[in-house]
Amino acid sequence: MCNAMDKQQRTGEGEQYEGGLLCRFAHLVLPYLEPAGLASVSATCKALRVVSKAITSRRISDASRGMETYPISFFNSVDSELYAYFIYSSVQTLPTSPSFAGLCWGGEIGGSGRVRQHPFVIRVEGSNGCGCESCDLDCPCMDFSSGLPTRECGPSCHCGSECRNRLTQKGVSAKLKVVKDRRKGWSLVAADFTPKGKFICEYTGELLTTEEARNRQKLYDKISKSSRFSPALLVVREHLPSGNVCMRFNIDATRIGNIARFINHSCDGGNLCTMIVRSSGALLPRVCFFSSRDILKNEELSFSYGDTTLNLTGSQCFCGSACCCGILPSEHT
């Protein structure tokens, strides 16, 4: 069909209209294809090749597909992979499907749409927020006691989205790029000098129950054994003040997530610290990254994935830090 369309485009005016229709249709549909699908469609005719090329270069030039303030480009001087394919979501999402049976996921949400628009997955109805018109240090939602914000205004506050106590709710605030490393795969790198204490980004992805996280972890471990695969399932444990209770959050950014999914592990703790940030009226806290020291332009961003207690089945660590223990921490789910 495509070849016929191609020929029509070259031969007549009416046919040109049909070729135009094909292109318009392709612009709507092709963004939903994974790289392999895009490559095969692109091989069928010139019109589709042109559209596919445009989609590919948009994907390379901005991993966030226009959802963040600054574009976040991919750079690869190591192999032929042009970009990493995943569905970008700037906010936490609920799981789309229980333990998906393989790695074929389509349905890319392109530059014009988000997976989920709401800022908090679950809101607490009737909870109290602040009544400030313009929040300052007196705002009851503010808590900088640890030097970084751990509480923010949220969906039950009167103040609007411009409130300055919503530092972590405005998307990625640093200039970043994604660079391929020969041994660690894609890595998140500072594209500019980033001072200590700056909010970098939230870790977004699918919020999973522990059971679902365990199932997915098993699947990921299996896939990793037979192919090069980089899962991005983050498990964060928060010890509540009583000391007896521990909250566990499972955020899987492997197929839906944001730029934080490219942050690699460093045994020395790296240059990022993780903060659990709560917002008034939001049931679930969010995991946010701040720079733990000044970060130079072109320096890789990293944090510690967890206790580097030796797990002999873990994969090899290439963080390169002086205290590297040689093996990546892996979650004992």
Ligand X SMILES: C[S@@+](CC[C@H](N)C(=O)[O-])C[C@H]1O[C@@H](n2cnc3c(N)ncnc32)[C@H](O)[C@@H]1O
- How many Å apart are CA 88 and CA 108, to the nearest integer? 8
The single residue among 265, 272, 288, 291 that binds ligand X, judged by CB under 6 A, is 265
Token code pair at residue 310: 């030796």
Q: Which amino acid makes up residue 265?
A: H
Chain residue at closest Cβ approach to ligand X: 185
Instruction: State which of residues 9, 89, 93, 264 lies at the interface with ligand X (CB under 6 A).
Output: 264
The reply to whether 262 sits near ligand X by the rule CB under 6 A is yes
Q: List the interface residues with ligand X, window 77-96 (CB under 6 A).
A: 84
CA distance 306 to 309: 9
* Measured distance between the N- and C-terminal CA atoms of the chain, rounded to whole angstroms: 50
Number of residues that bind ligand X (CB under 6 A): 17
Note the residue count of the chain. 333
- Report the alpha-carbon angle 172-175-176, nearest 5: 90
Q: Which is nearer to ligand X, 41 or 317 (CB)?
A: 317
Query: Among 317, 321, 299, which Cα is nearest to 183's?
Result: 317
According to DSSP, the β-strands at 176-181 and 74-75 are: parallel
Please state the φ and ψ torsions of residue 27, each to the nearest 5 degrees. -65, -30
Q: Give the contact letters, 175-214, x = binds to ligand X (CB under 6 A), - = no.
A: --------xxxxx---------------------------
* Contact window for ligand X (CB under 6 A) among 16-24, 169-177, 228-236, 290-298: 228-236
Smallest distance, ligand X to C-beta of residue 89, A: 15
Least distance (Å) from ligand X to the CB of residue 101? 21
Question: C-beta of 174: minimal distance to ligand X in Å?
Answer: 17
Residue 317 binds ligand X, judged by CB under 6 A: yes
- The residue among 84 and 283 lying less far from ligand X, judged by its C-beta, is 84
Of 6-14, 115-123, 147-155, 311-319, the segment contacting ligand X by CB under 6 A is 311-319
How many C-beta atoms surround the C-beta of residue 29 within 10 A? Answer: 11
Tell me the C-alpha distance between 73 and 82, whole Å.
Answer: 10
Q: What HEC string does 60-71 produce?
A: HHCCCCCCCCCC
- Give the ranges where 62-115 is alpha helix by DSSP (H): none
Binder among 75, 85, 105, 318 for ligand X (CB under 6 A) = 318
State in angstroms the smallest separation of the CB of 205 from ligand X.
10
Tokens 């106590």 sit at which residue?
165
Instruction: Establish if 232 lies at the interface with ligand X (CB under 6 A).
Output: yes
Six-digit token string for 17: 């209209």
Torsion of CA 41, 42, 45, 49, to 10 degrees: 140
Q: Does 73 bind ligand X (CB under 6 A)?
A: no
Task: Identify which of residues 42 and 264 has a Cβ nearer to ligand X in the complex.
Answer: 264
Rounded Cα gap, residues 205 and 233, in angstroms:
9
Which of the ranges 19-27, 87-95, 104-112, 313-321 carries the binding residues for ligand X, by CB under 6 A? 313-321
Q: Indicate the residue among 28 and 78 with the shorter CB distance to ligand X.
A: 78
**Rounded CA gap, 219 and 185, in Å?**
20
**Quick one: 8 or 230, whose CB is closer to ligand X?**
230
Q: Does 259 bind ligand X (CB under 6 A)?
A: no
- Nearer to ligand X among residue 187 and residue 250 (C-beta): 187
Which parts of this chain interact with ligand X (CB under 6 A)? Answer: 84, 183-187, 230-232, 261-262, 264-265, 317-319, 328
